[in-house]
């Protein structure tokens, strides 16, 4: 088995022969390993995980993660519906929207899920219409826990959460409307590099929690960094778990009772469990650059262009070939670049390239730009492969469009 394929339970090239390419492949073994690693990092506290399904929302993936014991973090009413379709009970789903209309909160009430509110005006409106419905409050601690403004959401200029400096106003609203607050929440964003900074945000939230006497849970969000290449830094989950466990035990004594501690891992659970397999269409030499053109683009994997993210690329058809330096580019009519000056084993037309860390924020951010079709998804489970989303057809692309007869 080739180096990249050792990370997965089945031969990846065989999967492209069976299902075609481009192809997303996810391995449940890796998801379960990450889930257990996170759960085992804590001791002496009541930890629950709510999977952030915006990372990867395929129904079969949601069902598998449910079997591990996780709840669900949903950021749209459609994700709430997906969770219910996947078998989650309403009280296992926490709806954490931002910038939505009141109608979405009303629909969430009708579905019976937990609701996390991050807007003072919306909280007051909600309390007037649904005075007995318990809510969670999302606090913005004004902490920059990651280095990228696009994925760090706890800083002072973020649209997310109620500012910690508005806590006095928040408490007045809670007291005036007798709002049943069952939880308090924060999410500082993805790629937590400095655990000390994150722990500072935790301290801010725990201090705020003391103002709410009837909490059932405290939600610390997630954003744990995973490695994207050999030697890459990652969040030290074990160290973080030990430190937070110690702090929570002290908090239980300060607060007078024990509450659940919730985390919302998305990328941490599924990023390393996924690969995108793509075939090389062309190898092209310009006066200054050697290009490898593949049969995918940022319509399937937007992270390198959108976030300037790194995805390790391996030629699994020719892993022992002499390395050369390539720009790996897509097939869109755009500057569609996955990698610049990347050292990869010699690439030939027809080779299969594997893009690592394609489990999170890849298919869920895919589009039909250039009228390209979305790829298939395959789930590996207990040594077998299962097609969990078929490849789109041209008829799928046009089926929602309506003929008017105006120009026939």
- The residues assigned a catalytic role are 333
CA distances, 203 to each of 82, 141, 162, 239, 388 (Å): 34, 9, 16, 17, 42
Which burial class, exposed, middle or buried, applies to 308 when counting CB atoms under 10 A from its CB (0-12, 13-18, 19+)? Answer: exposed
- Does residue 45 contact residue 65 with C-beta atoms inside 8 Å? no
- Does residue 65 contact residue 371 with C-beta atoms inside 8 Å? no
Chain centroid offset of residue 157 CA: 22
**Cα-atom radius of gyration of the chain, to the nearest Å?**
23
Measured CA to CA, the distance from residue 166 to residue 180 in angstroms comes to: 18
DSSP string, 127-150: HHH-TTS-EEEEEE-----SS-TT
DSSP secondary-structure letter at 165? G
């Amino acid at each position: 088995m080739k180096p990249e394929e050792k990370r997965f339970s089945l031969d990846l090239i065989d999967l492209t022969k069976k299902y075609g390419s481009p192809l997303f492949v996810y391995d449940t073994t890796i998801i379960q390993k990450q889930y257990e690693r996170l759960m085992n990092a804590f001791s002496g506290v009541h930890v629950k995980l709510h999977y952030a399904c915006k990372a990867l929302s395929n129904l079969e993936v949601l069902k598998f993660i449910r079997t591990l014991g996780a709840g669900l973090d949903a950021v749209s009413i459609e994700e709430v519906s997906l969770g219910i379709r996947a078998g989650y009970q309403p009280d296992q789903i926490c709806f954490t929207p931002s910038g939505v209309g009141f109608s979405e909160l009303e629909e969430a009430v009708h579905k019976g899920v937990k609701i996390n509110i991050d807007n003072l005006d919306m909280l007051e409106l909600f309390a007037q219409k649904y005075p007995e419905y318990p809510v969670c409050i999302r606090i913005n601690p004004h902490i920059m826990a990651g280095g990228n403004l696009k994925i760090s959401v706890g800083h002072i200029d973020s649209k997310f959460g109620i500012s910690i400096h508005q806590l006095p106003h928040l408490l007045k609203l809670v007291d005036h409307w007798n709002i049943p607050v069952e939880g308090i929440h924060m999410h500082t964003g993805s790629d937590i590099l400095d655990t000390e900074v994150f722990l500072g945000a935790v301290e801010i939230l725990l201090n705020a929690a003391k103002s709410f006497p009837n909490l059932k849970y405290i939600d610390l969000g997630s954003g744990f960094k995973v490695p994207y290449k050999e030697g890459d830094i990652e969040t030290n989950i074990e160290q973080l778990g030990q430190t937070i466990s110690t702090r929570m035990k002290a908090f239980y004594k300060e607060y007078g009772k024990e509450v659940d501690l919730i985390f919302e891992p998305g990328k941490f659970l599924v990023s390393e469990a996924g690969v995108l397999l793509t075939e090389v269409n062309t190898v092209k030499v310009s006066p200054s650059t050697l290009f490898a053109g593949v049969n995918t683009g940022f319509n399937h994997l937007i992270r390198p262009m959108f976030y300037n993210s790194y995805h390790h690329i391996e030629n699994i058809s020719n892993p022992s070939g002499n390395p050369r330096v390539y720009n790996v580019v897509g097939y869109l009519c755009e500057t569609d670049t996955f990698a610049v000056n990347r050292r990869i084993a010699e690439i030939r037309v027809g080779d299969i390239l594997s893009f690592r860390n394609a489990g999170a924020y890849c298919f869920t951010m895919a589009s039909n730009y250039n009228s390209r079709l979305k790829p298939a998804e395959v789930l590996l489970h207990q040594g077998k492969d299962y097609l969990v989303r078929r490849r789109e057809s041209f008829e799928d692309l046009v089926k929602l469009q309506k003929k008017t007869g105006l120009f026939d």
